[in-house]
Amino acid sequence: MPIHTEPMTINVGPQHPSTHGVFRLRVTFDGEEILEVEPVFGYLHRGTEKLAEERTYVQIVTLTDRLDYVSSMINNQGYCLAVEKLLGVEPPLRAKWLRTMVAELQRIASHLMGIGFFLQDLGTLGTPLMYGFRTREKILDLFEMLCGARITLTYMRPGGVFSDTPPDFWPALENFMQELPTEIGEIEQLVMENEIVLVRTKGVSPLSPEMAINCSVSGPVLRASGIAWDWRKMEPYDAYEWVDFDVPVGANGDNYDRFWVRMQEIHQSARIIHQCMEHIEPGPVRLDLPLVFRPEPGAEAYGRVEASKGELAFYMLSDGGVSPYRCKIRSPSLINLTVTEHLLVGWKLADMIVTLGSLDINMGEVDR
């Protein structure tokens, strides 16, 4: 005999581990089934775009680190490309190879965290997450050798990178690249065919290609829905036009495919890093630009990259001063969250937690 229940609206977050940051969901349930979802942003109050309008172009690099702080290198890259377009300059060839290489190292580190916390939301009790942290720590060690920092890096600068690699960087990178396949293989062996993972993710919260395109989602979330769109291929920047890699795509756009695409992208990033190590040559790593420069009044630029979570872009408008007149950030986590209602309505509370994990959001770039 069915039991009559009344709909109940509850808050999930903003202080909840499974909301992956200060993210609030107002969810209306009938029992455990989700009837309505209202995402609520705005608890971080970063104000990055307005802060950028009061700082010099070089100083702004430190602000970009704190957007998706799990993927700082790629944030730096997108911003520097925008400023270089604004100035009409190109970094030296060695700087392009270095940028591409460290961006792919950062992509691996970011995906490891996305995968680890996604599996943690599934109830794996920490083992895959600790495997991810283990490998990520080695990448952070490499970053520390490059610039002295591990999280908020500010390694890339308009016109190139902060400094060239120290002599002991390359042997350390070689050792890491030799260990990486084994460490990723351990995660894959543990979870890729795990029965609980398959049951909880296959066919759950699918996102159709049409809905993905209409909602402007990007990155692994878009590619999981079968759309082979990657800005590294469509509009290559830095050294991506000289490297060979594949764009993994899913078939169903469900939670499993979003997880699977990130696992495959780690292997493709490793391919790119090997090619960077093979082709990079000695040379300058930064243009001789002044610390304070003034782009032409009225100059505008839109610099975008394929960040670990999707399309990250910076729009800059100059009025001839030392700071941009306007700065607008197109962050993938914010745009990807627009599909929240489409993914969650009709599913259950436990599915909601896993689906949020499959989006791999970072609230640092949502609340600006």
Q: Alpha-carbon distance 142 to 73, whole Å? A: 12
Cα–Cα dist 363/84, whole Å = 27
The tens digit of pLDDT for each residue in 157-193 reads 999 999 999 999 999 999 999 999 999 999 999 999 8
Nearest residue to 61 via CA among 289, 357, 297: 289
* pLDDT less than 50: residues of the chain: none
Inter-residue contact 22 to 363 (CB < 8 Å): yes
Residue 226 has a pLDDT of 96
pLDDT the model gives residue 16:
81
- Give 303's DSSP letter: E
Cα 280 to Cα 97: distance, rounded to the nearest angstrom:
6
* Each residue's pLDDT tens digit, 71-122: 999 999 999 999 999 999 999 999 999 999 999 999 999 999 999 999 999 9
Map out the domains of the chain with their CATH numbers: 58-335 (1.10.645.10)
CA–CA distance, 181 with 266 (Å, rounded to integer): 10
- One DSSP character per residue, 47-89 reads -HHHHHTTS-TTTTHHHHHTSSTTSHHHHHHHHHHHHHHHHT-
Contact (Cβ atoms closer than 8 angstroms) between residue 322 and residue 57: yes
How far is the C-alpha of 121 from the C-alpha of 16, rounded, in Å?
12
Residues 308/74, Cβ–Cβ less than 8 Å: yes
pLDDT at residue 1 in the model: 59
